[in-house]
Structure 1
Amino acid sequence: MLSLTVGSGVVAFFSICIAIAFLRVLMVTRWLTAKNPIDDSPRCVDVIIPARNEEQDLRHAVESIQKQRSVSIRVVIINDHSTDETASIAKSLAESDDRIGVINDPTLRDGWFGKANAMQHGLAATSQSLLIFTDADVLHHRDSFAEAILEMERREDHFLSLFPTVELESFWENVLVPHLMIAGMVAFLHRRLEDPRSPHAVAAGAFILVQRDALEAIGGLESVKNEALDDVKLAQRIKQNGYQTGFCFAPDLIRVRLFKSNRDAFWGFTKNILSPFNPVWLAIPFMFLPIFVYASPLLAIAAGLYQHETLMVAIGIFAYVTQAIVLVPATRLCRLKWYKALCFPIAALPITCCIIKAYYHHYIDRGVKWRGRVMQK
């Protein structure tokens, strides 16, 4: 039982370290807010929206784009072989607004993942020097485009990505997303993110503003054609080629619900979960990490109560509380429901299942499965 006490102590220590690292991330990363910009010379921008089976969200997302102020927009919706009503919704939007065009079922090129392929087709259909890539389920504040463009010009960026408010509804969304979001930010948001001499760069696919010259200089989306983390890799490629990249938290400007159901949330990280590991077998020991991290405190509490070991119970409770406290600053970026989010220890189950499923697709299908389609590398 000593191992449970020690394990809980280790978990508490590392939870405190992660909390400190996450607070540092929140402090050093740029924040962009709505300031009602007034611009007498609105910028022209082409907006590219890849959409696959987005019937629930596409109309609301596009309507929020149509309401943008202080910018002149053209929108291209790429219906990526959807099997629901996405095509008809896109068609009706285009028929009601001549600023909107639709590309249906673009040819899927060999070696390309669906989203990157759709984005490349959208890029070929546009002409403006400024481009915005945004997802079909993102809702935009009426000044989000103008604020982003002004920020890009002020900082002399060639590439700027905004991170949204993440809305959480279902049980598994609240259990999984906050801690994984925190872990991802601690891993990717390096303190030298803004240093042009540093290789570190990051992006969120919800909103990417990029200068066409910089994107075309790296061959468009070609360099990320089969990357599961296409947004992050795109930012890195841009920066590697000598262009300035930027990243801002913008919870007041854009918001998104990543997963639309418990099932989607449970399996939702399958596509990306192997991406940080090279070679991919390194994810095998990672499978056991969530079990250790989340189970140790609970087992220590249970064993301590059974054996009347007050110290073990106290350390187990302390470890659980430190894990829960990390969620407090995360509320600046996600709208969680505490009565669901506090069940985070069972996140070990879907994480393990997602890794196993990702391995299956990697070795059996030789690719990545997303939205009912296997993309082979």
Structure 2
Amino acid sequence: MSRLFRTYRLAAGVFLGYKAATLLINALTLPRLRPRPTPAEPRVSLLLPARNEAHNLPHTLPGLLAQGAQEVLVLDDGSTDGTAEVARQLGARVLRGLPLPPGWHGKPWACQQLAWAARGDVLIFTDADVTWHPGALGAVLHELARSRADLLSVYPRQHNVTLGERLLTPLVDDVLLTLLPAPLLRLPHPSAAAANGQLMAFRREAYERVGGHTLVRAELLEDVAFARRLKARGGRLALARGGDSLGVRMYRSYPASVAGFGKNARAFHGRSRVLLLCSAAWHLAVYTLPWVLPARLRGIAGLRAAALLERPLVNLLTGRRAATDLAEGLLGPVTPLLALPVYLRAMRGRVSWKGREYDP
């Protein structure tokens, strides 16, 4: 057995072992929300930035309106598909977004306008594709109070229907749950931070103290950037799993997943093309290469098993336990190949999202 192969086997094993250990730690320490009645206090503003979301709002906005918050505000960010009309017909208060100022990206600007209009003591930003089930707001407020956090971010349970959306979209949970052990959030260093822009609940005082979304005005990965910069300024972070309280259907096809992940991938890798290339090569080496190498090589069986088991174990932790969810493990060896278009899209000089172009 060559020294090169032994080094490869050791490096891949350490990487997969770290991810498995992190998943176990998060299974034991990351809270899972449970439905609760909405308390009378504190006053809550549920804030929904929306750009061309007419297809999502009929499915998600009624649940948001039924939570019992003091106000629900929808900001129509220059939609061309009738988003504002749909939101009004469903009973929401709709704000008309102002033109995008120089130096701002779309979502941070929409969120900042919502914060200016909001009256609550707690500001909860949520995406239009997030489903709020009965008792979800009470669950979020309970965890915000229990954790004493300035920012609580929640990982909603993924809801994937078609084969196309199952290919890549569930990897969001893999990234969130296998790379950062939740207890590290207690460390003072800002790099030990995470957040999910699908749901971010702020104490208003902390949000305003750091300048609101002006803090991340030109960030594509604004959720993680906000968490890091809030923490750097003394803020306290907390994370939770959505459980039965909150769900999300992010992308409804493989091309949509490629477009969505391609938008953020370069920012996730520190805006470095070199790191993007290294990441693509490394994942091919860890998850795909073991199925190309001869099965008789020592340790290959273990690497193959890990490639098949990782996604089902993540799905079990998030509550996705149907046979079709667990069968996603079969995609493990080919997932790096399916992700190559994401890397190629991220390598471009500019990225396009919802009709706007940004520097990555």
Equivalent residue for 1:88, pick from 85, 97, 112:
85
Structure 2 vs 1, CA of residues 315 and 180 (structure 1 numbering), >3 Å: closer, same or farther? farther
Q: Which of 310, 323, 326 is the equivalent residue of 2:307?
A: 323
| Aligned partners of 2:45 and 2:122 also within 8 Å | yes
Q: Hey, what's the Cα distance between the residues in 2 that align with 1:334 and 1:175?
A: 18
Compared CA separation, residues 317 and 5, structure 1 to 2 (3 A): farther
Whole-Å separation in 2 of the counterparts to 1:278 and 1:66:
37
CA deviations 1:305-356 (Å, max 9, x no partner) are: xxxxx624x8544322112222233122163634444123222234222222
The alignment status of 1:292 with 2:285, answered yes or no, reads yes
The change in CA–CA distance for 1:334 and 1:178 in structure 2 (over 3 A counts) is farther
Report the RMSD for the aligned CA atoms in angstroms: 2.6
Q: Distance in 2 between matches of 1:279 and 1:88?
A: 38
Q: What residue number does 2:61 align with?
A: 62
1:333 aligned residue (318, 330, 351): 318
1:307: which partner in 2?
Answer: none
Per-residue CA deviation, residues 164-211 of structure 1 (Å, 9 max, x unaligned), is 10112233432323445323433344532135x343332111211111
Unaligned runs of 5+ in 1: 305-309
Asked if structure 2 preserves the Cα contact closer than 8 Å seen for 1:21 and 1:186, the reply is yes
CA displacement 1:112-166 (0-9 Å, x = unmatched): 1111111111111112221110000111122111222222223322221111101
**1:311 maps onto 2:296 in alignment:** yes
What displacement does 1:8 show?
6.0
Amino acid at match of 2:55: Q
Partner of 2:111: 119
More displaced stretch, 186-195 vs 106-115? 186-195
- Partner of 1:102: helix, strand, or coil? strand
Corresponding letter in the other structure for 2:284? I
Residue in 2 that maps onto 1:77: 74
Q: Quick one: which of 335, 339, 344 aligns to 1:351?
A: 339
Shift of 1:254: 0.5
**d(CA) in 2 for partners of 1:323 and 1:20?**
15
What is the deviation of 1:42? 4.2
- Report sequence identity in percent: 25
1:146-295 equivalence runs, <5 A: 146-179=138-171, 181-195=173-187, 197-199=188-190, 200-278=192-270, 280-281=272-273, 282-295=275-288
125-134 or 236-245, which deviates more: 236-245
**CA shift in 2, pair 1:111/1:185, >3 Å:** farther
Q: Residue 272 and residue 334 in structure 1: after superposition, are their counterparts in 2 closer, same or farther (change >3 A)? A: farther
Pair 158,11 (structure 1): closer, same or farther in 2 beyond 3 Å: closer
**Larger RCO (CA within 8 A; separation ≥ 6):** 1
User: Which segments of 5 or more consecutive residues in structure 2 lack a partner in the other structure?
Assistant: none
Report if the CA contact (8 A) 1:259-1:265 is conserved.
Answer: yes
1:19 equivalenced with 2:12 (yes/no): no
Is residue 310–residue 329 contact of structure 2 (8 Å, CA) maintained in 1? no
Distance 2:163 2:337 in 1: 13
Aligned-partner residue type, residue 30 of structure 1: P
Letter in 2 for 1:371: K
> Quick check: 1:4–1:297 contact (8 Å CA) kept in 2?
no
Contact persistence 1:7–1:296 (CA under 8 A): no
Q: Find the residue that maps to 1:128 and give its secondary structure.
A: coil
Structure 1 residues 52 and 188: alpha-carbon distance in aligned structure 2, compared to 1, 3 A threshold: farther
Taking the aligned partners of 2:181 and 2:216, their CA distance within structure 1 comes to 20
Q: Contact 1:157/1:245 (CA < 8 Å) preserved in 2?
A: yes
CA distance in 1, matches of 2:57, 2:271: 37
2:137 match: secondary structure: helix
TM-score, normalization by structure 1: 0.84
**TM score, norm. by length of structure 2:** 0.88
Runs of 4+ with deviation above 4 angstroms: 1-10
Q: SS of the counterpart of 1:290?
A: helix
